[in-house]
Each structure stands twice: as C-alpha cells, then as structure tokens.
Amino acid sequence: MKKNKVLLTFVVTLIIVSLALTGCSKASSGDSAKYPSKPVNMIIAFSAGGSSDVQARIMQKYWNELVPEQPWVFKYTTGAGGAIGFAEMARSAPDGYTIGGVNVPHMVLQPLGQGAQFKIEDFEYIAQVVNDPQVIAVLKDSKFNSVQEVVDYAKANPGKLKVGIVGTFTGHHLMLLELQEKTGIEPAQIVYKGAADQNAALLGGELDIMIGNVNDVMRSLDMIKVLGIAAEEEHEFLPGVPTLKEQGIDIVSDIRRGFVVPKGTDPEALQFLRDVFKKINENPQYIADMKKAGQPMEYMPGEDFEKYVYGQNDKAENLLKKFGLIK
C-alpha cells in the first residue's frame, strides 16, 4: 500500500513537472516567434550607390529608429535590369525576413517580354515609396522648344528623329511606344545601357531628344531643357515644365519604386512591415531627406500598390502586343 502511494506521488509529480516544462517551452517559443526576432535581409536588385540603393538607405535610417533591435542586412543581387534580384526575392522563404526593393514597370515588363524567372503574382506588396515621372529632354540650344515641335518634325521626317532610351522592355521603352501610339510618329530608337551613357549621348549631340526620368535629368539642368513631363501635374523638382497632357498628349508614365516580400508571407509579419513603412513615409525628417537626395517621394499603401502593378501589367501587355513585341 505504502509502495503504491509512493508510486502515485511520483507519477503525479512527474506529470506536474512535465506540464510546467511544456508551459515554459510554449512561452519561450511564443517569445522567440515575436516578429521580427532577427535581422531582416534587404535585397537590392541594382548596384550599390544607385538610386534604388540610396532610397533604401534613407529608409534604413528610420527603420532603425522604429525597430532598433533588428537591422536590415543589405544584399546586392544585380543584373538583367533588376530581374535577377527580383527572382531571388520571389524564391526566398516567406518568413518575413527577406524584403526586396522593386521597380515598376521593370517587374511587369520582364516576365512579359524577357522570360524572367518570376511573375508579379509571386509577391506580397508592402508599399510604394517613389514615383519618378518620365520626361522628354533636349539640349539647351536645341531647335525644339515644345513637345509638339518634336512631334511635327518627326511626322515630317519619318525615321530621322533620334530618340535615346535606356534598354528595351524598360520604362523608357514603354513610354516611347506610348508616344508613338498617341502621335503616330516613327522615330529612330537609340538604346543605351544606362542613364549615364544616355545623358552623355545627348550632351554629345548624338541624339535629338531623350526620354529619361526626373532623377536622371536633375544633375544636368544647366545643359539641357526639359520640354515636357509625363505626369498628372507639374512636378516640384521641375517648376514651370508643362505636362504632356497640357500639351495635348495624354500620357502619364513613370518609374515607381516599392518594397515586397515573397508570396505567402505570414499576414502578421506583412502587416507589421506595412505599418512601419507607413510611419516612415509620414515622418517629416524622412520626407526632407528624400527631397534633399532628389528622390521623388510618393507613398502608396501595399494593397493599392498591388492593384497599381496589376493595372500596369494589363496596360503594358496590350501595348507590347500592338507593336508585335510579344504574342
């Protein structure tokens, strides 16, 4: 009898200890699972020091203020106009510990026309942070003083207007196609590897006009004149430059930057990221830093950014098909 009592006491004690240990384990597991519990990888698909990197570094400063215990770890995965980095973002574990910077329309055009190893459905969208409108620019002493004068010349001289763009299946390329669609012109398309090469070609007299972005032309305003901006309204960085719409050409075209995580990322982690990015974009000091760096800031929440990307996909697909660039 005494042995049975001892055995029963031992079993009860063992059960109590086991339950206590289980509870501690669960509590410990719950604490460690609180997001973020480790540093977050930040994939940049373009070179260090470029516009995408500069913008992300500005955001990093304010992330560190809001989430000081878990910094960003930058990883530069470059090549193919961002497609290699975008593909790595899509393949990463959907655990909230890999964020990536994306560019639109790059991420739309690459799967459509270049067989990229990702698609726009492979991501959850955190936020848009930059809207960099495209412009039509000429040399300071150019004979052209308006976009209409450019169009008139191109119509009178098919194939002679030399237009510089950066890459094919890019934002510049897409705007040129839209300009051709809306005006009926047939220019000579001159393709460059990067904005620096394109700017040098314009300044060297190789081009009649170039299609670039606000951020691309700001450093050369003493040598070029901007004839029009493809935005809904005049831009604060280029006061006095009329929109294409104001000049009778219904085109709004830009390059936008935003941030994504892989599809299937935990909803709580995604919401945490969306909330932090929103707070950063509302910070007056961040806004001032962006302006100082020449980064045309425009915040858009993740849900709206996703809708925008899908809408741009439909627009680009129709335009590329019209010009026979995809089937």
CA 61 – CA 65 distance, rounded (Å): 7
Report the pLDDT value the prediction gives residue 33, as an integer from 0 to 100.
Answer: 64
One fold for 38-130+254-321 and 131-245: yes
**DSSP conformation class of 81:** G
Report the SS3 class of residue 286: helix
Quickly state the pLDDT bin for 16 (edges 50, 70, 90).
very low
pLDDT (average), residues 136-164? 97
How is residue 327 written in tokens?
């089937």
Q: Is the pTM of this model over 0.85?
A: no
Residue 240 has pLDDT above 90, yes or no: yes
Quick: pLDDT tens for 20-78: 444 444 433 344 468 999 999 999 998 888 888 999 999 999 999 999 999 999 999 98
Burial of residue 26, with CB atoms counted within 10 A of its CB: 0-12 exposed, 13-18 middle, 19 or more buried: exposed
State how far Cα 8 lies from the chain centre. Answer: 66
- 251-281, pLDDT tens digit by residue? 999 999 999 999 999 999 999 999 999 999 9
CATH code for the structural domain at 131-245: 3.40.190.10
Length of the chain (residues): 327
Closest CA to 317 of 105, 18, 72, 93: 105
> 181 near 214, Cβ under 8 Å?
no
Domain boundaries, the chain: 38-130+254-321, 131-245
The CATH class of the 38-130+254-321 domain is alpha beta
